[in-house]
């Protein structure tokens, strides 16, 4: 009888996680795709703000993209380290 209730709870949790895109390992890919899209939108906004600000300082677009790529890698490694600790 206990196994039946545990299975029901497990299914309820799975459905909840599927709706939110969070949770089990199978849903991490969905979560990271959503997170990545949000992050790229933020980076695009940051880059356009950088372009406006740094035009006066003559800093090239390549330099800005390198900085943003480094920020992206830093962000990804931080998330991976948090996941590996849990």
Quote the tokens at residue 1: 């009888």
- In order of 4, 11, 68, 79, the CA distances from 72 in angstroms are 44, 35, 6, 11
pTM for the full model?
0.30
pLDDT score at 45: 65
- Nearest partner of 66 among 56, 54, 78, 82, judged by Cα: 54
Task: Enter the DSSP assignment of 21.
Answer: T
Q: What is the mean pLDDT of each run of 10 residues along the chain (86 residues)?
A: 54 56 55 71 65 58 71 79 70
pLDDT at residue 2, as a whole number: 46
Pairwise CA distance, residues 6 & 73, whole Å: 39
């Amino acid at each position: 009888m206990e196994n039946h209730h545990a299975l029901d709870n497990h299914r309820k949790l799975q459905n909840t996680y599927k709706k939110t895109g969070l949770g089990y390992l199978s849903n991490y890919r969905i979560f990271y795709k959503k997170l990545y899209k949000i992050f790229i939108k933020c980076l695009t906004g940051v880059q356009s703000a950088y372009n406006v600000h740094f035009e006066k300082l003559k800093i090239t677009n390549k330099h800005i993209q390198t900085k943003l790529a480094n920020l992206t890698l830093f962000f990804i490694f931080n998330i991976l380290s948090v996941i590996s600790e849990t």
